[in-house]
């Protein structure tokens, strides 16, 4: 079959031809068949989406040269006719080889080009060209086509209208392609608009095809069309000139059925028209009117009247009702009007998008006769502002604006997410008070209109609204004036109802309407009152009932209500019965914190969703005396404690009840020591322990012994019917006291006890039960005081736990600062109602150490570890929370007694502290710098994960510290390099000893002390030596205190605590470390009560080494201790990665 490509292009169009080429292959075209009788070629053709379509093409009779022209094609694809699949099939058949199996190959072989011949292509192209030259006929006359325009009622309006065209603009303008029919009528051409888009042109000329496609392009983006094309959404600026060129494209503009003609009409204005079908009812319709361009928005043209009284337009158009028409274009540029069976296409002029949209949506409005006046007053002014209004009925009257007022409507919000308290919706309206001709007033309500000026945000559009906002602002309520609905909840809503409604109503021209369901809110006559009470809780001897409540005007208020205001920072809250109450945020914030703390300490840990569920069932112990004191300060109404709860008053007092010096105490107490005894006696009386944290050297030991003597005398003097256990009632003593001290000071404790309370029986247990001739139980039964070491207690914990001790004295309590240690567990397991922690440094590194000591001694004063971390440690150490630090000090104040040396400065000789700088030798410096460079690179890398690498980091720093003392401590190969620090120390001690003074020498490194001791022996200086390896500690101490040794060399760990070495008046600290408390303990071995000579303290520091930075770090870390125990206002946490980084960078 021979089909010229030119015929294929003429048949389907150039676009479809181009899209067909990828399908001209055996993969895309299969099942090819040919029916000779009908000259029909058929095949299965692939589509772009993977589907296959059945395509058929019918041909006319071949000409004398065998060329065929297609006449008709069908396809199951969406295009259906003259598609790319038909084009692909024809091209495939035309190129088929004569030897193929194609059924269409029924022509002589010579008529086909041979595919394998190189001349195939050029032969085919020449033959096609010659065929066109011979067969091409002269241009034929084009078929006659027309565009028929018709106006029909809008089918999308479901209002029951059955009267044909609607008056006004409630219609649509449609168009279809037509051809002449019989009798001069026009009929559908059968050409569908959708098909034109795919290249189908029927028998149209090129000009006709282009013209119809242009019409389709103007409207098809908005509505799909097959026969009828809706033009109401067309792009009028392009449509209008297109209609004017129809004749040039050989297209006639044809009127629709029932119309006589289509022609351009006069300029019209679209708007609203009022007319009356019966003289009574007024109907308002969107319509097009012929009005002068400068006419009033509201017109009643009574001067144009016909003889019979009908109103007319200037061209004689009767105006009893609006003409039917359709608004064309999204901006309403054109209106199609049917007048006297003529379709007029009238220009309008571009409207705003909103106006065109509203007019097209307008639905005919019928107003009963009795409501016309209401319509004129309430709605006509607004409509006249938005649209031109024509009154055909002569019934409308436009009222005059008399004044502008404002109405604020407040209603309850009941939508999703509504709040528990007042939750409101507030909406302002602009009320335009209008005056009718008869003097009556009507009101037109409008919302406040915003204007968006850009970055400045929304503002009000009109002068009156701006004036309202200004007056409301002056009255303090400017924030409430805003366009649209505003949701107001919580405190703002309560204040609006309590104060704002009345204040706004007082403004001229302002109305406030409060809907039903909005709660009434009033201000309270007085602020909230806090009541606190404590009474004995008979459910447990160690517990007291704490009751805290808040009332307003005598009625209780839930804590959750108050504390929600505190958390949100609102200065007022609303009670359930609608009372707006002012709240002191600071005061009630403190109350909330105190109650959280009380709940943390309470056995009944009943905590509600807002922090507290009620404070009537809180139980506290005497350990919460500080908490009770804080609550009492906050209370407006404080009920005096009853029963055992009265002990809270005494514990919280700054002046304990004085007690006499026990007769058994053979010592004269200084005034501050007598105060200490009074305080200890108060704790003993209530069987709650404490922490005696006086500075070193102020006689803590003698105060503890005075307490033991007092306990014995108080036991003997108690009434026969007094409270106590059965064992106490038949015993002459309260029971044995256990003293736990470092091993080095156990002998000193025994000696001091025998000296100051000789009437009490004292036993010293320096060995475990396996090596001791007596058992713990035997010694406890036979003695009043048992002195043992922390090590022995830890090893024989079970034996000591089996004894009922009257009390425990824990000396140097910082040795139990680790709550995870076995010593802590052994102490916690002791059966004793009273434990006194004695230490000059209850905290060295962090607050957990203080918590551990308090947990052993004054149990219940601080919460458990988790709550302590949340309430105190984290806020203080990480956040620097001064308020949390203040609360911690207040909690501890009744149970922690600390006096500084300044208190007894007149009884102590002066103390001088100095830094003795040591310059390293050249060789020593070279070794140090080389090691510093090596360690710095390693340590800085490790510091990125400080917690995991802590041990490695401290080990590296220790190498540098030891190197500052003596190079041989790090590498014996450096023994030939002299130690500058040792040389300086020996030179200084020569002078000290020569002048008759005695000195203490402290170092953390025992190996270095050994070197110093050997050097001093070589210098002929007598030396006593004490470190952790010394077995005869008492002998070593006695060698200095009684044997006349000139210098006492001690390790900080073994000799820094518990020793009274006032025989020395010089102290040398050889290697500074960051913890100032450790050094302070060492210095106080000499500078303490009993010292009669001035004390000089020298810190030996190697210049330009890590030791200089340690001194600076030591200064900063001293604030840690002072902040908690000495009322400092700043807190510095334990050693951190940044601290260590500063030592080596």
> In this structure, are strands 298-299 and 389-391 parallel, antiparallel, or unpaired?
parallel
Average pLDDT over the chain, rounded to whole?
80
pLDDT at 300: 43
Mean per-residue pLDDT for 201-226? 77
Tokens of 1124: 């908690």
Same domain, 456 and 573: no
- Residue 1070 phi/psi, 5° resolution? -85, -30
Return the closest-CA partner of residue 180 out of 251, 264, 263: 251
Lowest-confidence segment of 420-429, 614-623, 835-844, 1062-1071 by average pLDDT: 614-623
pLDDT over 70 for what percent of the chain? 81
pLDDT over 90 (residue 1029): no
Cβ-contact 682, 656 below 8 angstroms: yes
Highest mean pLDDT among 161-175, 247-261, 487-501, 748-762: 748-762
Lowest mean pLDDT among 12-16, 108-112, 657-661: 108-112
Give the pLDDT mean for 478-483.
86
Is residue 877 one of the residues assigned to a domain? no
pLDDT bucket at 59, cuts 50 / 70 / 90: confident
Which pLDDT band holds residue 1079 (cuts at 50, 70, 90)?
A: confident
pLDDT at 459 over 70: no
The CA distance from 982 to 988, in Å, is 10
Tens-place pLDDT, residues 190-201: 777 877 777 776
From 618, 651, 684, the end of a domain falls on: 651
* 3-state secondary structure (DSSP) of residue 455: coil
Q: How would residue 606 be classed by pLDDT, with cut points 50, 70 and 90?
A: very low
Q: What are phi and psi of 513, to 5 degrees?
A: -110, 120
The predicted pLDDT at position 99 comes to: 35
pLDDT of residue 635: 83
pLDDT in tens, 434-456: 888 778 888 878 888 775 444 43
Same domain? For 82 and 32 the reply is yes
CA–CA distance, 218 with 239 (Å, rounded to integer): 7
Angle 1107-1113-1115 from CA coordinates, rounded to 5°:
110
CA distances 63 to 1, 96, 134, 352, Å, are 12, 20, 11, 62
Do 235 and 384 lie in one domain? The reply is no
Q: What is the pLDDT of residue 931?
A: 84
Overall average pLDDT of the 842-847 stretch:
79
pLDDT band at 284 (very low <50, low <70, confident <90, very high): very high
H or E stretch at 798: helix 797-801
Tokens 């109802």 locate to 497
What confidence score (pLDDT) does residue 764 get? 94
Q: Determine the pLDDT at residue 934.
A: 82
Kindly report the number of other CB atoms within 10 A of residue 343's CB atom.
24
DSSP structure class, residue 314: T
What are the pLDDT digits (tens) for 320-379? 678 999 998 877 788 999 998 999 998 887 777 778 888 888 888 899 988 888 888 878
CB contact at 8 A, 1085 and 1115: no
Is the residue at 114 inside a domain? yes
State pLDDT tens for residues 543-602: 677 778 888 888 888 878 887 778 778 888 888 888 888 888 888 888 888 787 777 766
Q: What does the pLDDT average to over 45-50? A: 81
Residues 6+ apart with CB under 8 A from 1035: none
The answer to whether residue 1013 is domain-embedded is: yes
Rounded Cα distance, 637 and 723, in Å = 32
What is the pLDDT at residue 386?
85
CB 81 within 8 A of CB 73: yes
Residues 350 and 425 in one domain: no
- Is 87 found in the same domain as 187? no
Query: Per-residue b/e over 382-396, b at no fewer than 16 CB within 10 Å?
Result: ebbebbbbbbbbebb
Question: What CATH number did the domain enclosing 721 receive?
Answer: 3.40.50.10810
Both 1016 and 984 in one domain: the answer is yes
| One domain for residues 162 and 243 | yes
Whether residues 990 and 1077 share a domain: the answer is: yes
Task: Tally the domains of the chain.
Answer: 7
Q: Over 60: is that where the pLDDT of 628 sits? A: yes
Residue 663 lies in a domain: no
Contacts 24+ apart (CB under 8 A), 1115-1124: 1115/1076, 1117/1074, 1117/1075, 1117/1076, 1118/1076, 1120/843, 1120/845, 1120/846, 1121/841, 1121/843, 1121/844, 1121/1076, 1121/1077, 1123/885, 1124/843, 1124/847, 1124/850, 1124/885, 1124/888, 1124/889
Does residue 680 form part of some domain?
A: yes
In a domain, 208, yes or no: yes
More confident residue, 308 or 361: 361
Domain residue limits at 73? 5-135
Q: How far apart are CA 1111 and CA 1003, in angstroms?
A: 15
pLDDT greater at residue 1145 or residue 1083: 1083
The 3-state DSSP class for residue 495 equals helix
**Range 403-419 average pLDDT:** 86
Of the candidates 365, 391, 417, which is a domain's last residue?
391
Is the pLDDT at 113 greater than 60, yes or no?
no
Token readout for 753 is 């006890």
pLDDT at 240: 76
Q: Would you state the pLDDT for residue 938?
A: 67
719 and 628 part of one domain: no
Decide if 1042 is inside a domain. Answer: yes
- CA 869, 871, 872, 874 torsion: positive or negative? positive
pLDDT on residue 941:
59
Q: Looking at the domain assignment, is residue 921 inside a domain?
A: yes
Q: Predicted confidence band at 296 (pLDDT cuts at 50, 70, 90)?
A: very low
Kindly provide the residue ranges of all beta strands, DSSP E only, lying in 726-790, ordered along the sequence. Answer: 737-741, 762-765, 785-789
The answer to whether the CB of 787 falls within 8 A of the CB of 753 is yes
Q: Are residues 813 and 927 in the same domain?
A: no
For range 741-753, the mean pLDDT? 89
Q: Do residue 823 and residue 913 come from a single domain?
A: no
- In order, the DSSP letters of 424-452 are EEEEEEEEEEEE-TTS-EEEEEEEPPEE-
Q: How confident is the model at residue 308 (pLDDT cuts 50, 70, 90)?
A: very low
Q: Which of 259, 293, 311 is where one domain is finished?
A: 259
pTM of the entire structure? 0.52
Q: Are residues 683 and 626 in the same domain?
A: no
728 vs 5, more confident: 5
Residue 904 confidence (pLDDT): 63
Band (108; pLDDT cuts 50, 70, 90): very low
Q: What is the mean pLDDT of residues 212-239?
A: 77
Please say whether the beta carbons of 792 and 786 come within 8 A: no
In this predicted structure, the answer to whether residue 707 has a pLDDT above a threshold of 80 is yes
Helix/strand/coil for 948: coil
Helices (H), 1052-1101: 1052-1055, 1076-1083
Mean of the pLDDT values across residues 918-939?
84
Where is pLDDT greater, at 948 or 1127? Answer: 948
Please name the residue that has the structure tokens 């101490």: 1037
**Once rounded to an integer, what is the mean pLDDT over residues 878-899?**
86
């Amino acid at each position: 079959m021979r089909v010229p490509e030119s015929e294929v292009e003429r048949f389907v169009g150039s676009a479809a031809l181009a899209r067909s080429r990828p399908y001209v292959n055996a993969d895309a075209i299969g099942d090819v068949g040919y029916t000779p009788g009908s000259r029909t070629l058929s095949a299965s053709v692939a589509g772009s989406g993977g589907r296959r379509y059945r395509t058929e093409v019918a041909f006319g009779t071949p000409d004398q040269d065998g060329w065929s022209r297609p006449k008709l094609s069908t396809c199951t694809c969406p295009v259906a006719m003259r598609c790319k699949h038909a084009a692909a099939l024809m091209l495939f058949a035309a190129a088929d080889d004569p030897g193929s199996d194609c059924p269409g190959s029924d022509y002589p072989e010579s008529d086909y080009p041979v595919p394998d011949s190189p001349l195939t292509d050029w032969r085919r192209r020449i033959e096609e060209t010659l065929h066109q030259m011979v067969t091409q006929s002269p241009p034929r006359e084009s078929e006659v086509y027309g565009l028929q325009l018709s106006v029909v009622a809008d089918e999308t309006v479901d209002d029951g209208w059955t009267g044909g065209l609607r008056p006004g603009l409630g219609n649509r303008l449609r168009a279809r392609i037509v051809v002449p029919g019989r009798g001069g009528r026009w009929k559908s051409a059968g050409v569908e608009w959708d098909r034109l888009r795919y290249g189908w042109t029927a028998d149209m000329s090129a000009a006709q095809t282009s013209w119809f496609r242009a019409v389709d392009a103007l409207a098809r983006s908005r509505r799909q069309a097959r026969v009828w094309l809706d033009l109401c959404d067309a792009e009028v600026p392009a449509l209008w000139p297109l209609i004017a060129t129809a004749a040039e494209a050989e297209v006639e503009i044809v009127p629709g059925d029932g119309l006589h003609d289509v022609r351009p009409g006069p300029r019209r204005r679209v708007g609203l028209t009022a007319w009356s079908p019966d003289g009574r009812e007024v109907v308002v319709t969107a319509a097009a009117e012929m009005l002068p361009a400068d006419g009033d928005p509201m017109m009643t043209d009574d001067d144009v009247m016909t003889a019979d009284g009908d109103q007319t337009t200037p061209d004689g158009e009767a105006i009893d009702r609006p003409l039917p028409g359709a608004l064309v274009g999204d901006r309403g540029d054109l209106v199609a009007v049917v007048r006297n069976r003529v379709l007029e296409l009238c220009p309008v002029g571009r409207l705003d998008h909103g106006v065109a949209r509203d007019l097209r949506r307008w639905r005919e409005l019928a107003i009963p006769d009795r409501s016309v006046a209401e319509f004129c007053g309430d709605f006509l002014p607004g409509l006249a502002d938005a649209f031109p209004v024509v009154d055909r009925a002569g019934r409308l009257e436009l009222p005059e604006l008399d004044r502008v007022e404002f109405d604020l409507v407040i209603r309850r919000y009941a939508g999703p997410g509504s709040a528990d308290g007042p939750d409101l919706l507030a909406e302002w309206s602009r009320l335009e008070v209008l005056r009718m001709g008869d003097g009556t007033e009507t009101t037109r309500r409008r919302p406040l209109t915003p204007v968006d000026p850009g970055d400045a945000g929304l503002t009000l559009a009109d002068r009156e609204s701006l004036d309202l906002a200004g007056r409301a602002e002056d009255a303090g309520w400017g924030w409430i004036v805003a366009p649209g609905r505003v949701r107001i909840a919580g405190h703002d809503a309560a204040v609006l109802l309590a104060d704002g409604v009345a204040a706004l109503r007082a403004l001229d021209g302002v109305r406030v309407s409060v809907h039903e369901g909005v709660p009434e809110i009033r201000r309270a006559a007085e602020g909230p009152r806090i009541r606190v009470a404590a009474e004995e809780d008979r459910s447990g001897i160690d517990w007291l009932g704490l009751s805290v409540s808040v009332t307003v005007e005598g009625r209780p208020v839930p804590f959750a209500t108050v504390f929600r205001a505190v958390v949100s920072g609102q200065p007022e809250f609303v009670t359930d019965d609608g009372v707006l109450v002012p709240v002191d945020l600071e005061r009630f914030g403190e109350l909330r914190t105190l109650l959280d703390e009380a709940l943390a300490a309470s056995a009944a840990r009943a905590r509600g969703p807002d922090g507290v569920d009620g404070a009537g069932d809180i139980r506290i112990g005497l350990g919460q005396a500080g908490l009770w004191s804080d609550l009492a300060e906050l209370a407006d109404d404080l009920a005096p404690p009853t029963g055992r709860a009265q002990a809270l008053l005494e514990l919280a007092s700054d002046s304990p009840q004085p007690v006499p010096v026990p007769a058994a105490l053979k010592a004269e107490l200084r005034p501050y020591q007598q105060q200490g005894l009074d305080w200890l006696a108060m704790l003993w009386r209530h069987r709650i322990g404490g922490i005696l944290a006086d500075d070193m050297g102020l006689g803590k030991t003698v105060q503890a012994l005075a307490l033991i003597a007092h306990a014995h005398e108080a036991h003997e003097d108690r009434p026969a019917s007094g409270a106590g256990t059965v064992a106490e009632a038949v015993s002459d003593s309260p029971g044995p006291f256990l003293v736990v001290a470092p091993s080095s000071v156990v002998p000193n404790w025994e000696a001091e006890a025998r000296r100051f309370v000789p009437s009490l029986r004292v036993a010293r247990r320096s060995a475990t039960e396996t090596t001791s001739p007596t058992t713990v139980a035997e010694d406890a039964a036979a003695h009043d005081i048992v002195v043992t070491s922390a090590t022995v207690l830890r090893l024989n914990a079970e034996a000591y736990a089996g004894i009922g001790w009257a009390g425990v004295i824990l000396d140097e309590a910082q040795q139990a600062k680790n709550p995870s240690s076995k010593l802590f567990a052994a102490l916690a397991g002791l059966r004793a109602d009273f434990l006194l922690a004695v230490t000059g440094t209850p905290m060295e590194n962090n607050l957990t150490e203080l918590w551990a000591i308090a947990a052993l001694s004054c149990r219940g004063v601080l919460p458990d570890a988790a709550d302590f971390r949340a309430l105190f440690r984290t806020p203080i150490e990480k956040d620097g929370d001064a308020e949390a630090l203040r609360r911690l000090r207040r909690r501890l104040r009744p149970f922690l007694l600390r006096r500084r040396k300044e208190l007894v400065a007149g009884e102590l000789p002066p103390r001088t502290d100095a830094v003795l700088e040591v310059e390293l030798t050249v060789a020593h410096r070279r070794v140090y710098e080389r090691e510093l460079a090596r360690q710095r690179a390693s340590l800085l890398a490790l510091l990125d994960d400080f917690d995991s690498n802590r041990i490695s980091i401290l080990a590296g720093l220790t190498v540098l510290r030891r190197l500052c003392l003596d190079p041989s401590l790090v590498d014996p190969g450096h023994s030939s390099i002299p130690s500058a620090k040792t040389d300086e120390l020996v030179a200084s001690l020569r002078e000290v000893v020569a002048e008759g003074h005695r000195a203490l020498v402290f170092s953390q490194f025992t190996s270095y002390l050994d070197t110093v001791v050997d050097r001093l022996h070589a210098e002929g200086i007598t030396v006593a030596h004490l470190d952790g390896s010394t077995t005869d500690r008492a002998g070593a101490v006695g060698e200095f205190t009684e044997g006349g040794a000139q210098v006492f060399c001690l390790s900080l760990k073994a000799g820094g605590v518990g020793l009274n070495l006032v025989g020395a008046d010089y102290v040398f600290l050889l290697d500074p470390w960051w913890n100032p408390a450790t050094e302070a303990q060492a210095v106080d071995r000499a500078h303490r009560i009993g010292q009669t000579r001035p004390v000089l303290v020298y810190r030996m520091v190697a210049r330009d080494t890590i030791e200089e930075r340690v001194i600076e770090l030591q200064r900063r870390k001293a604030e840690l201790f002072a902040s908690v125990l000495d009322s400092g206002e700043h807190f510095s946490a334990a050693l951190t990665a940044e601290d260590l980084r500063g030592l080596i960078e």
